[in-house]
Chains A and B, each alone.
Chain A
Amino acid sequence: MTGKNYIQLYRKGFFLLLRLYPKPFGECFATSMSQTFDDLMNAQKEANKGLLGLVLWVFAETFIGMIKENVMQHKSIARIALITISILMVPLIAMQFTDEVLWGPIDFAVFGIMLISVGFAFEFITAKQNSMVYKAAIGLALLTAFLLIWVNLAVGLIGNTNEIANIMYSGVLAVLILGALVVRVRPLAMVRVMFATALTQGLITIITLLGKMSNHSGSSAGEIIVMNGVFIALFMVSAFLFRRAGNASQV
């Protein structure tokens, strides 16, 4: 292989590397970067120095730059992925030390998809919001809804996971989701949505107790009250945060 062929090969390699940059970055700088790479190789040749060391250094340096630009371009995606992986590591590590945590591939997949969905929902809703209180309110509402689904899938709030009465909790999620869509997640209007969500959860608790569902194996009346009470409290705290965020934005 001649020196010219090597240079063509290096150019092609660099061109391929530049294609891995985010599109907007590539459109702005790919030509200039190629030109700079050519300049560097020309200067090296003129100085009668070998090209391989320079090429390896430029490739490594540009590769790191490419990773950095991609992470910065897709900051929120990288953050969601990182948080999801970190949380999934908890049961994975726990499984190595105890037999009480027994997760199959489907458990990991469902949990991962739920976490990613919540992450994207949070990023999407709070994308144009600077208020930390509003972000906290959204985060808490999403986290509570996430826990409600997860607890029902894992053990079931009433009885066990096979207990059909647990389907009532989809009403809580419906009130939350539809309410948020109708009021377009405006903070003060979300206060009413969160109250309605907490009220729905409370009504389900009463129906469960009046319907003697606490007699089903797996959950006592006390457990049902405590568990539902925790969810109601979390929805109410979220409502309180929405009110603070709404009042602050009106000042």
Chain B
Amino acid sequence: MKHKPAKAPLTPAVLHILLTLSVKDRHGYGIMKQVEVDSQEKVKMGPGTLYGSLSRMIKSGLVRESDTRKDPAMDDQRRIYYTITATGQKALEAELKRYRKVIAIAGHIPLLPDGFANDR
């Protein structure tokens, strides 16, 4: 299958999904909950955003359906799990690298507001 490459920078939803899947394969609801936990409830994704993003990520080759089918806690054979691909891993690394560069540049700017500087 020919994949349409993902455009950089990644959308926040795509970045969060990749981050979540980089730890382990998850089903839709699992991704949603993990994103919520990882972001300390700052990012709340509904089914529309989640599955719309997954659809585009599959087309871009960032994720694919996993062969894993069972979550012992959820116990449903029909659940579809998603796994990050090598392309997805590379895109995630590139995006994080980009973020680090931006943070580094921001760190060198002397006119940061005090509040921002204290957060670091």
The complex places the Cα of A188 from the Cα of B41 at a distance, in Å, of 59
* Contact present for A36 and B55 (CB under 8 Å): no
Which positions 29-56 of chain A face chain B at CB distance < 8 Å?
29, 31-33, 35-37, 39-40, 43
Q: What's the A-B contact tally at a CB cutoff of 8 Å? A: 55
* Contact present for B78 and A36 (CB under 8 Å): no
The complex places the Cα of A63 from the Cα of B54 at a distance, in Å, of 17
Known: A32-B27, A32-B28, A36-B28. A58 touches B47 (CB 8 A): yes
Measured CB to CB, the closest approach of chain A to B116, in angstroms, equals 30
* Contact present for B46 and A61 (CB under 8 Å): yes
Measured CB to CB, the closest approach of chain A to B41, in angstroms, equals 13
Say which residue of A40, A63, A69 sits within 8 Å of B29 (CB atoms).
Answer: A40
Residues of B within 8 A of A58 (CB): 46-47
Chain B interface category by residue count: 10 to 19
Binding site secondary structure of chain B: helix
* Contact present for A36 and B52 (CB under 8 Å): no
A194 within 8 Å of B (CB atoms):
no
* Per-position 1/0 for B4-42, Cβ under 8 A of A: 000000000000000000000001110011000000000
Q: Which residue of A lies closest to B27 (CB)?
A: A32
B43 within 8 Å of A (CB atoms):
no
Residues of B within 8 A of A61 (CB): 46-49
B79 within 8 Å of A (CB atoms):
yes
Measured CB to CB, the closest approach of chain B to A46, in angstroms, equals 12
The complex places the Cα of A36 from the Cα of B32 at a distance, in Å, of 9
A-B residue pairs in contact (CB < 8 Å), sample of 7: A32-B79, A35-B29, A37-B47, A61-B46, A61-B49, A62-B47, A68-B52
